[in-house]
Amino acid sequence: MNNDNTQINNLLSLDNKLAIITGGASGIGFSTAKLLAEMGANIAILDVNENRGNLAIEEIKKIAKKAEFYLCDVTEDNECKNTVETIVKDFGRVDILFNNAGVIKRKTILTLQEDEWDLVLNVSLKAIFLLSRYVIPIMIEQGSGGNIVNTGSGWGLKGGSNAIAYCAAKGGVVNMTRAMAIDHGKHNIRVNCVCPGDTDTELLRGEAKQIGQDEAEFMKEAADRPLKRVGLPQDIAHTVLFLVSDLSSWVTGTTVVVDGGGIA
Question: Which residues are tagged catalytic?
Answer: 166
Q: Which secondary structure element, helix H or strand E, spans residue 216, and what is its range?
A: helix 215-222
Sheet holding 96-99, edge to edge: 67-71, 42-47, 18-22, 96-99, 146-151, 189-196, 255-258
- Candidates 206, 132, 126; CA nearest to 168 is 126
Residue type, 45: I
Beta carbons of 260 and 229 less than 8 angstroms apart: yes
Distance CA 84, CA 70 (A): 10
CB atoms within 10 A of CB 212: 8
Q: Is the separation of the CB atoms in 135 and 94 below 8 Å?
A: yes
SS (H, E, C) 59-100: HHHCCCCCEEEEECCCCCHHHHHHHHHHHHHHHCCCCEEEEC
Q: Of the candidates 49, 51, 42, which has an alpha carbon nearest to the alpha carbon of residue 22?
A: 49
